[in-house]
């Protein structure tokens, strides 16, 4: 049984936190820019659309370039380098929040989010298979669930932190200063660059091959070779539906609360965080098998997660 390198795995799944933090923070940007720029609800949803469509574009670019080179790009440049490059791309996207907020430009805003999403796309292409490889293959799905739990830690605290950075601590403050959006995303961009350096020199595996060597004959990048397996198609449909429901709910929650409950933009972040926290508890419950726990301890773990869920409810 392949033992998990705890230090390397902990470093790897830290990147899942960034994905969740930014994705959930978009739910705060939607009502902020909707009010500041007088957008329709449909236009405001382009914030989420621009971010997530970048995953599709990034994946297609990856497959296209791999097909042209007849070689998996990440096996060529290294998975650690791929993670670092993805973080640098995302950092570049955060810089667009400066002119976007200074000029109240919706186009620059969604362009910045698109670039951040492109970087995340490359990061996810590298990180997900690494998470499966770094330990017992039979528990790879459980390690991914645990990484998803780390992702939801980011989704839980992201809305609160970004909302505080935009509105400050005064609960009565409702004036929207778009320049306040700059600070959290500049800090986030700096964090991306620091994380890129950490990954560059970390012990995270650089190849998917068990012996750490490069094999140029593996992974031709032919998408047709991948989608011939029915479980791949079914998995794609499942994740499409799951993420669609998840993101659509969170993205429209602020507007729903404004219309039905009269909740102001600066007061919605705790409820967005609670939505993501409920998902976090579910993921951590399913990840109990990732730890070397006895049946009794697993039952205790799952009971604690259930009690947390009931507390949030």
Give residue-wise pLDDT tens across range 6-62. 778 888 888 899 898 988 888 888 888 888 888 888 888 999 999 999 999 999 998
Global confidence as pTM = 0.82
Question: What's the pLDDT at 214?
Answer: 40
Question: What's the pLDDT at 293?
Answer: 59
Question: What's the pLDDT at 304?
Answer: 67
Instruction: Name the stretches of the chain with pLDDT < 70.
Output: 1-5, 169-177, 209-224, 286-295, 297-313
Question: What's the pLDDT at 213?
Answer: 40
Question: What's the pLDDT at 292?
Answer: 58
Question: What's the pLDDT at 67?
Answer: 83
Question: What's the pLDDT at 216?
Answer: 43
The domain 6-312 having CATH identifier 1.10.287.130: the answer here is no
Question: What's the pLDDT at 299?
Answer: 67
Write down the domain spans for the chain.
6-312
pLDDT, tens digit (0-9, with 9 covering 90-100), for 168-197: 744 444 456 677 888 888 999 999 999 999
* Backbone φ and ψ of 211, nearest 5°: -90, 0
């Amino acid at each position: 049984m392949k033992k998990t390198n705890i230090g390397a795995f902990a470093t790897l799944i830290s990147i899942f936190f960034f994905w969740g933090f930014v994705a959930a923070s978009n739910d705060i940007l939607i009502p902020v820019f909707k009010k500041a720029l007088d957008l329709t609800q449909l236009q405001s949803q382009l914030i989420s659309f621009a971010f997530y469509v970048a995953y599709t574009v990034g994946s297609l670019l990856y497959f296209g370039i791999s097909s042209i080179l007849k070689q998996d790009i990440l096996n060529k440049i290294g998975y650690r380098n791929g993670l670092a490059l993805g973080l640098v791309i995302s950092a570049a996207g955060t810089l667009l929040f400066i002119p976007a907020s200074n000029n109240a430009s919706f186009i620059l805003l969604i362009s910045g989010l698109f670039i951040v999403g492109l970087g995340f796309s490359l990061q996810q292409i590298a990180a997900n298979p690494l998470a499966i490889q770094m330990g017992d293959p039979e528990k790879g799905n459980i390690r991914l669930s645990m990484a998803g739990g780390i992702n939801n830690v980011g989704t839980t605290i992201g809305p609160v932190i970004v909302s505080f950075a935009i509105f400050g601590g005064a609960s009565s403050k409702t004036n929207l200063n778009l320049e306040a959006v700059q600070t959290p995303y500049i800090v986030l961009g700096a964090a991306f660059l620091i994380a890129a350096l950490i990954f560059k020199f970390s012990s995270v595996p650089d190849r998917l091959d068990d012996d750490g060597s490069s094999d140029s004959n593996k992974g031709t990048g032919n998408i047709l070779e991948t989608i011939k397996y029915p479980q791949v198609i079914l998995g794609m449909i499942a994740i499409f539906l799951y993420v669609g429901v998840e993101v659509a709910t969170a993205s429209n929650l602020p507007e729903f609360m404004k219309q039905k409950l009269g909740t102001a933009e600066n007061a919605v972040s705790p409820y967005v965080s609670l939505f993501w926290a409920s998902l976090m508890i579910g993921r951590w419950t399913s990840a109990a098998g990732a730890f070397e726990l006895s049946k009794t301890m697993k039952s205790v773990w799952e009971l604690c997660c259930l009690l947390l869920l009931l507390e949030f409810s």
